[in-house]
Amino acid sequence: MTREVLECPKCPGELMPHTYGRKIQVHRCTDCGGLWCKPDVLLEMKKEWMSEAVLDSGDPKVGAALDRLDNIVCPEDGAQMEKTADERQTHIWYEACPECGGMFFDAGEFTDLKYDTFMDRVRDFVKGVRPDAGG
């Protein structure tokens, strides 16, 4: 993963390198707060406690507005990026580069992704508990 500053694919801002822990390095836009990362880094981010609070610090309202933007190109190689739905949480759409596999999440999208993953686990946990138990 490159350490250089990249141009944001969605706004005039710059993608600045940010690190979290030992394994996680992402780029975050100075203006819209969008996150640029690679799939292996995303896996680490999902595992890392509180990574969303540190890394996904942009304004979700700004991210939601930019989510409608189409035809964006990869900040690393200029390839046309494809809008992709998360395989488990299909309401979450992000842009993926067919060349390098890089992914762009609008501000708030990674938090959404991670929080839903967490809530799924909680739901699995409480599923067997009857609502009237212990009343």
Q: Which is nearer to Zn ion, 3 or 123 (CB)?
A: 3
Q: Does 7 bind Zn ion (CB under 5 A)?
A: no
Contact between 26 and 36 under an 8 Å Cβ cutoff? The reply is yes
Count the residues of the shown chain that bind Zn ion, applying the rule CB under 5 A. Answer: 16
Stretch that binds Zn ion, among 44-52, 72-80, 111-119, 126-134 (CB under 5 A): 72-80
Is 63 a binder of Zn ion (CB under 5 A)? no
- Distance, in Å, from the CA atom of 109 to the CA atom of 92, rounded to the nearest integer, reads 7
**Local structure of 3: helix, strand or coil:** coil
Residue owning tokens 């009343």: 135
**Residue 27: half-sphere exposure toward Cβ, Cα within 13 Å:** 24
Give the nearest distance from C-beta 60 to Zn ion in angstroms.
Answer: 14
Q: Which is nearer to Zn ion, 8 or 113 (CB)?
A: 8
Q: Report how far residue 60's alpha carbon sits from residue 41's, in angstroms, rounded to the nearest whole number.
A: 21
Residue whose CB is less far from Zn ion, 24 or 29? 29
Q: Is residue 5 a contact residue for Zn ion (CB under 5 A)?
A: no
